[in-house]
Structures are given as C-alpha cells and as structure tokens.
Chain A
C-alpha cells in the first residue's frame, strides 16, 4: 500500500513536470508588456553543431510553456505580497516598488541618484562636451529666432525627482541626488549662457508641489505625468515661447475634475508588473479639461516636437484646446530609435513650423536623442546650413 502511495506521489511530480508540454490552452489573461514572440528554430546541421539551434530552441521552449502567464503572475504576486518587491523579467528595465505602492522605473532612480543620466540612452559620445553641445544648440536657437520660429529645450521632470518621499530609502544613494542636482543645474546654466531657451520642468513641478502638496502630478502606477502635470508643463513651455514672438499665446487653466479610476496611460508601469491584482496601484487621478485663459487663438500653432513618450499628454492638451493642430501626415515625435520617416524633408518639415520643441529627461547631459536630431539637422537641412554660414561668415 505504501509503495502504491509513493508511486502515485511520484506520478504527481511527473505530471507537474510533463503536463506543460501538452500546451493545453489555458484560458488565462495574456501577460502585459512587449513580449517578443520567439520564432520556431530551424534545424540545420551547422546550426546544431555550433550550438545556435539549441539556444533558440530553449528560448522557444520557454516561450511556449503552458500555464506561463499563470506561473508568472503567481510568482510576481508572491514577490509583491510576501517580499514587497517587483520581479524583473529578462530584457526589461526593472520596476521598483516605492512607498504607498508607488512604482518607479529603475532608470529614473538611477537618474535621481546621479548614477546614469538619461533614460534608455547612452551618454553622448566624446569628444562632445557640454560646452560644445550647448554652442551647437545655441546656433540652432539663433537660426530659429532669425527665421521667426519659437524654439525651446524642455526638460521633463520625472516622478523620482519630484516625489522622493515615495522612494524606498534603500534605493537612494547618499550624496547621489546632490550630485544629480548639481549636474542638472550646471547644464541649465551652460544652455542659458549659449542663449538657448530652456524650460526647467523640474523647477515648475517642484514649485507646484510646494504650493499645493496634494496636487497629483504623477500617478501611482505610471511613468508619465498626469494631465494636471502635463497641463502645468505646457504652461511652462508657453511662458518660454511667449517672449520669442509677438503672437498671442495664452496660458491654459489646469482645473481638474474627479475621476473614478486611473487612465490606462497612467497605469503603464503597473500593467507591466503582471500580478493577479493590480488594484493596489490604482489611483483616483483628477483629469484636467483645460481651457484657454482668455480669448481663443486666431491661428493654430504648428509645432515640431522631438522627444519621448512624455509627449502624449502634451499632444492631447494642445489638440483638445485647439491650441494647435499637429503636423500631418508625418509624426511629430522624432524618435531616432524608431527610425526617421522616409518622407521627412529637413527643410520643409522643420522650417514650416511655429514651434520647435526638443524634449528630454532632466539630467547632466543633453540627450543623445536630441544630439542626433541636431546632427541630422546640420547635415540634411540646406536652409539651416545656409543660415549658419551667414551667421559665422562661412567659418562653420
């Protein structure tokens, strides 16, 4: 009898081990995030002898594990509830759990600590120093000013910087943030010295947070600012653009209304956590329906925007208030990583705009995204090259 019981228990172990291979269609919820579909490996003798087939096969096998979503959610829920941690899947930017279930992307904590500068980007390669990049941006500012185009470099603040009280102290490096602040201020001074119009998003948000402690500039489960934060950021941009032009550029009112649940965009990190119950990250985030303070604009703004996913809320605000109509049909956000649109005309599509806005995360360096855009402008735009030549007497 005991032998039979042992045999049954052994079968139980075997079943646990083998059943996932049957690839039973388990009615689970797909995992969130950019999960790459691993293609089926192609067997060739060469591939096998070199070990390449085996590597792809093992990845493919792991990718097709039945009950994978169930297991991953269970593991992640275990980590969250028992260990108060977020699991870090392979090939992903880690997510960090802060106080009160606030979530942060690790790269922003690194930025906060002054360890690495730019979210997802490598620092611009040497020999371009800050001074050199500022000089080049200064040229760009002068060219745009001469051609009547409003120009600004906008530094978006991020959650870790504005809400450090929500960070778990174990992620904070002593003296790290002081170094990060010093680096950021140094960059701002250098840009201003080169007469580059700068929008200091961090200062705008810090002042708001100090004046209105309950203002929700960031959601618990999202990376990006709330519509409230975006609205105030946009007002900051307008304030910098206004002195550059005689045009009427009114501010927006950032009045908000209560909302029952967080907007999906405001749960972008929380959804990547892949736990059974994401409700701990929910927020009652007020939504701004901004109105133009004063008379409406007679003519909409045409703008070119180079930056990151923080653009999303700004786009919506600009369009919803009829402040602007985005350039069509080409995308506004110039993501080098996403590839340059084939039909992009560096003269027509840049210099037909009213605003040129370069956006990046606050940090101690100008982002590589911005510098590559600038390099492309210098290389590809004949209008720009001619203007620079005129300004420098042909020396550059």
Chain B
C-alpha cells in the first residue's frame, strides 16, 4: 500500500487518524503500532512475523549490551552478534539471489554447470531501512549514546511506524525515543503536517510520476535508436523523477509524523543546488549519508587515519552505499562513481577548482556529474549505461535507426512538459536565498503559528484535488525506493 494509492489516501489514512485521535493519549502508541503493523502486513504479510522476531532478538540484545560493562569483551561480542544477525538477514533477503546468479555465471563458463542451486528469495519491503535502524539502535547503546527501549512495543513502533517503515527516512532511536514516550499533539502541528503531506503527495503524483513516464519511454529504447536530445530529456526526467519521488515521499512521512505529534528530521535540502559532490551528499537522503558516516565511515577510521586510508574509506563507504541501493553491478558502479568524485573533491577539485569558480558554475557542474551518475543508477546493465552515456555526449541530430524509434508525442506529453518545467523551477529557484526561504515556508511550513495560512491551504487543497483526479484515472506507480 503506497502513500499515493487510493486505498491509503481514501481509506487507511482517514480511518487510522480517526482511530488514533479517538484513543486516549496514553494508548496512542499502541494504536499507532497496530496501524503500522497492519500497514506493513498489507504489503508484506509473510515477512512481518520474521521481522518481528528479529526485532525481538535485537531488543533483547540491546538490553544485554546495556547491562554489560562498558569496555568489556562481552559487550563487544553482543553488539557484534547483533550487527551480524542484522547484516545476515539483509544479505540473505537482498543479496543472495544476486550472489548465486553471479557465481553460477562464472561456474557455467568455467565448469559448464551451476555450482549453487538456489531458489529465488523474495525480499521483504523496506528491509534495508529496518536493518539499518536496528544496527544504529544497537551501536548507539554500545556507544552509550542512548538507552534501550523500556518496552518492546515502543521499540517495534520505532521500527515499524508506517510513515517511514518501507521507504525511510532512516531514523535513529536516540532522535525518536523522547517523542515515542511523550509528544505533543496540536491542531497547529496537524495543520502544517497535512499541508506538508499534500504537497509531498503532489510532488510524487503530479511531478515524479509524470517524469517516470518520460524516463521509462527513453530507457526502454536502445540508446543509439534515438537522438541525443531524447537521451538528455530522459536523464533530466529521471533526475527529477527520483528527486520528487523520494523527497515527496519524505515530505509525506514528515507530514504524517507531524499529525501524529512527531518531529522528524529533514531528509533533503535542495540537493540539486549542491556546489560539489560532497555538498550533494549533505543534501541528498541525509538520513542515509549521516548513517553511513556514523556507522561505517567513522568505525573505519574516518578522518583520523592517513590521507590515503581516508580516501579508501570514503570510496568503500560509497561503494557499499551503492550496493545498499540494490543488488546489481550498476548500483555498485554508481556508488564507486560517487566515491571517486568525493575523493577528487578532497584532493584538488574543492581547493583548486570549485573554490575559484562562481557558484552557478559549481552548481551546474555538480548537477551534470550527478545526472551522469543517475544513468548508472537507472540502467539495467553496465553495458546499457555505457551506451547511454555515449549517446548523451556524442551529439548526433539524426536518428540512427527506426527500430525502436519514439515520436516526440510518445516521449513527453504537454502535461509532462509542464511537470518538467515546474520540477526544474522548484529545484533551481532556491538558488536565490529569498525565494528559498519563501519556498521552504510555503511547502514545509515555517515556525508553527496560530495564523491560518489560507493561501497555503488553498494551494495544498488544490493539489489534493488534482492528485485525486489523477490517481483515479491513472496507473498505480510504486515508489522507487521500495526496491531498497
């Protein structure tokens, strides 16, 4: 059940909110937990029991860590055990198919038969997010940064709270603990939350889904069967699709959280205005990049090692980050690509190039670099990505072949062009600080206030109406990050 499905918008969410606010304050966590488990069970019923069992194991290990003496081997063993269980689960569900396929490819070439006989393992949705949250929970207890949850139900709510359970953002226990125990509900917060949710829904349905239609048409074609201009339109569309899809989803999660009295951290901060790849990763999927920094980069040594080792650590972190996104060589290549640029940022790009160029140049160069990375991310194979990149940069005004040719009408509709223009404007206009502030206040809400922002509400409601019309008449389109 995606947030942009009719069932969620017109049934689950309204009914859940009624049940939630009719529950006495002391028991609202239980209502939220039941609702969240129902939400998860709807999408992945077979896996709910497995994840609950693993969560119980993690919860128990958390207490074991907490009760053991800091600095002892026993404490370390418990946290290692917990991390291994979680990573094993992630590996089994997410990467075993990929590994067995790759090993068998090699074995067929060398020995003429399959070495591994492996049935297809289905991946539970949202497992990557759940595992990372469980790991951060255990490690934070180990590092004495937080205490374990007093009740398992509170911990389960932390993991499975439906606004974020299947596609992030990645929460830290220490950020939510206080709010899970006690939080304030108010009409002002709910009002801002609803507007945030509606704008997020608009980003997803009215922009991301339309861009998805364009990107899908382009990426279905053989790269050299279309003009370079189409390839550019395709990758710009995909860049907008992935941003508005994911940030729209994050907005919806934050909005629903606000309605329920939670204050979730922002997950995006105008990433396409980044002035370098380093800056990009401070603005894109912030919850993931900070998780990687705190639980992978720093344990590897972070900046406290030799320069060469630091670059290696950076590259490893991004390689694994790419792998986290999906079990395919293209994701690994994408991670390695970003790691490479991060190293260049630290060596000479940051000090000798970007620091001397105007901001607009840095933004343009970074956006181009990121877009090239998205080609890897979107392609099914490395070979396709390579051909696509060649198509992008070898400009040829004529059609190479008509085998899979696409007309302009098929490529992008008039409504799609409007969505693209709007998407680019939303990405680019915050370049101007005053506009950035206005946009943030308008879409995300500024300081909570008793004033009724009628114009904001009218726009959000209009978006809701347009989304409703669109959803009723169009196809269902799942969130990209479901795959992770």
Contact = CB atoms under 8 A, between A and B. Distances in A.
Interface in B404-445: 405, 407-410, 413-415, 418
Contact of B468 (A49, A71, A89, A172): A71
A79 B415 contact: yes
Interface stretch (B8-16, B58-66, B169-177, B245-253): B8-16
Contact of A17 (B10, B190, B409): B10
Tell me if B's interface is mostly helix, strand, loop or mixed.
helix
Contacts of A87: 473-474
Nearest to B259: A10
A90 B476 CA distance: 9
Interface in A128-187: 168, 170-176, 179
B344 interface: no
A111 B458 CA distance: 46
A3 B15 CA distance: 22
Dominant SS at the A interface? helix
A18 B10 contact: yes
Contacts of B15: 18
Nearest to A175: B402
A21 B10 contact: yes
A13 B461 contact: yes
Contacts of B43: 51, 54
A76 interface: yes
B216 interface: no
Contacts of B152: none
Contacts of A76: 473
A127 to B, nearest CB: 20
B468 A13 contact: no
B410 A6 contact: no
A26 interface: no
A71 B473 contact: yes
How many chain A residues sit at the interface, stated as a range, is 35 or more
A145 B15 CA distance: 72
A172 B407 contact: yes
A239 B418 CA distance: 52
A352 interface: no
A75 B409 contact: no
28 contacts: A2-B451, A3-B188, A3-B450, A6-B187, A10-B187, A13-B461, A16-B465, A17-B13, A20-B10, A58-B1, A61-B6, A62-B6, A65-B6, A71-B468, A71-B469, A72-B469, A72-B473, A75-B469, A76-B473, A83-B418, A84-B414, A85-B415, A96-B409, A171-B407, A171-B410, A173-B405, A175-B399, A179-B402
Given A49-B45, A114-B402, 18 more contacts: A3-B187, A7-B187, A9-B452, A10-B187, A48-B45, A58-B7, A62-B472, A72-B473, A75-B473, A85-B414, A85-B415, A89-B473, A115-B402, A170-B408, A171-B408, A171-B410, A176-B405, A179-B402
Interface of B: 1, 5-7, 9-11, 13-15, 17, 42-46, 187-188, 190-191, 194, 198, 399, 402, 405, 407-410, 413-415, 418, 450-452, 457, 461, 464-465, 468-470, 472-476
Interface of A: 2-3, 5-7, 9-10, 12-14, 16-18, 20-21, 48-51, 54, 57-58, 61-62, 65, 68, 71-72, 74-76, 78-79, 83-85, 87, 89-90, 96, 113-115, 168, 170-176, 179
